[in-house]
Structures are given as C-alpha cells and as structure tokens.
Amino acid sequence: MRYGLIGEKLGHSYSKIIHERIINENYDLIPLSMNEFDDFMKRKEFAGINVTIPYKQKVIAYLDELDPLAQKIGAVNTVVNNSGRLRGYNTDYYGLLYLFNRNNIMAEHKKCLILGSGGTSKTARAVLESLGAEKIITVSRHPEGHSVSYEECYKNHRDAGIIVNTTPVGMYPNVNASPLDLTPFKSCVAVVDVIFNPIKTVLAKEAEGLGIKAVTGLAMLVAQAKQAEEIFRGIKLDDGIIEIITHELMERLNC
C-alpha cells in the first residue's frame, strides 16, 4: 500500500527525502487539485498519507475518526487507513513544539502573534498555549472571528514578544517575499517561520538583522515526519534521528 504526501503544490517539498531516510520504503509526492483531492480521499488507495497546504482542514470531512489532539486543534496532517477506516492525526504539533524547545524559545508570559489563519496557524496556537503564552493574536489578510488585519497588527500589537509565521509567504519559488515588516516590533525577541524552503527566509534574515532570534521550519518538518512514521508503522523511533536528518539536509543544501 502507498505512503506519501498530498497537497496542491509540492515542488518545494523535502518530505520524500526525509521519510525515505527514516524508513527505507517508497514515499510518494502526490500533488492534487481540489477535484483530484476529493477523488483521492474517496478512493482510499493508501496506507498512510501526510497532508499539506491547502488540505489540512478540508481533509477532516473525509475521516472516520480523529485523534483527540487533532480534534482539539482542528487540523490534520497525517492520515492512516485502517482497513478502510481513516483516522486523522496532527504531528505538526509535535514538530513545532520540538522547534521551540530545540531553540530555547520561551513563550511563557509573552504576547505572541501568529501570521496566517490556516491549519498550521491552529497548531501554532495550541503549541503557544501549551507553552504558557500570555496573549495570542492571529493576524490574517482576511480577518474574521478573533483574528485581526495586518493594519491592526501594526497599529495595536507592536509590543509582541514572539512572531510565528504560518503563511506560505516567502516560500519557494516566491523567496523574495515577506509577510511582515519587523522594524516596528521593538519588543520582539524571537521569530519562528515554519517555512523550510528556503532554509533562511526573508523574514528570518530581517529578524537576524534586527538582532532578533530567528528559526525556520526544517527541524519541525523532520520532527513531524518522524512522529508520522511512528503512527504509520506502529513503532517508536529515537528522537536523535531528527537531528541527524536535519544536519544531513543542511549539508545537502549547502547551508
């Protein structure tokens, strides 16, 4: 049975390299349009899949069961086919929490901004809540509910201590774009950009230039893949594999 990653555009993905390094078995990149996505999920011709933009929330409608964490977050990036019954999980939570801990980024008692309102934004909120963030503001180009616009962000939330980018702005191939001008955010001590290609985004470079700690999402990607493989195979893997593969990828990409 097939394992792989589904999403709309996967030309930027390192997931095949990572998963095949963790488990020496074929792992496919499966780009799907919206119509193809519907057909793919209904056919269920896979053993396990990972899910990326823009299907982390849309996939939930096709599932028979949700892991409690995925249900709480409202986003799924890992699906297992158990004899035709589909169960969804969120391993991005583990990956993002790993990224924060790996880089000693402390969210406790801090005001935090999350850029973007998609599936990964929901995961980021859950992680920041678990780390004791004092206030969490979601910033969106199309604000609704409790999210705010970028204009309001610049006006009222320049005192944020941590900024997490969950948007694809700045991701390959649009590597010269950035979702935010960091200059007004004088209280910011850390920027976490979940983008992993390029390894160093424009946002991360600007943060470093302003003396702000900046991390991007490669280690998160590897960590969530490690947990996904544990779920796919029903095994336990040592966390050390995350650092080994992250280092190998950095070398491969000449970073």
Q: Give catalytic residue positions.
A: 56
CA distances to 13, 30, 37, 58, 170 from 85, rounded to whole Å, are: 27, 21, 17, 17, 37
Distance, in Å, from the CA atom of 3 to the CA atom of 28, rounded to the nearest integer, reads 6
- The dihedral over CA atoms of 222, 226, 227, 232, expressed in degrees to the nearest 10, equals 130
Hey, which residues does 6 pair with through a beta bridge? 30, 51
Distance, in Å, from the CA atom of 116 to the CA atom of 41, rounded to the nearest integer, reads 26
Is residue 232 within 8 A of residue 89, CB to CB? The reply is: no
Closest CA to 55 of 84, 35, 81: 35
What is the per-residue DSSP string for 108-157? BT-EEEEE--SHHHHHHHHHHHHTTBSEEEEE-SS--TT-B-HHHHHHH-
Structure tokens at 137: 């503001």
Is residue 134 within 8 A of residue 109, CB to CB? The reply is: yes
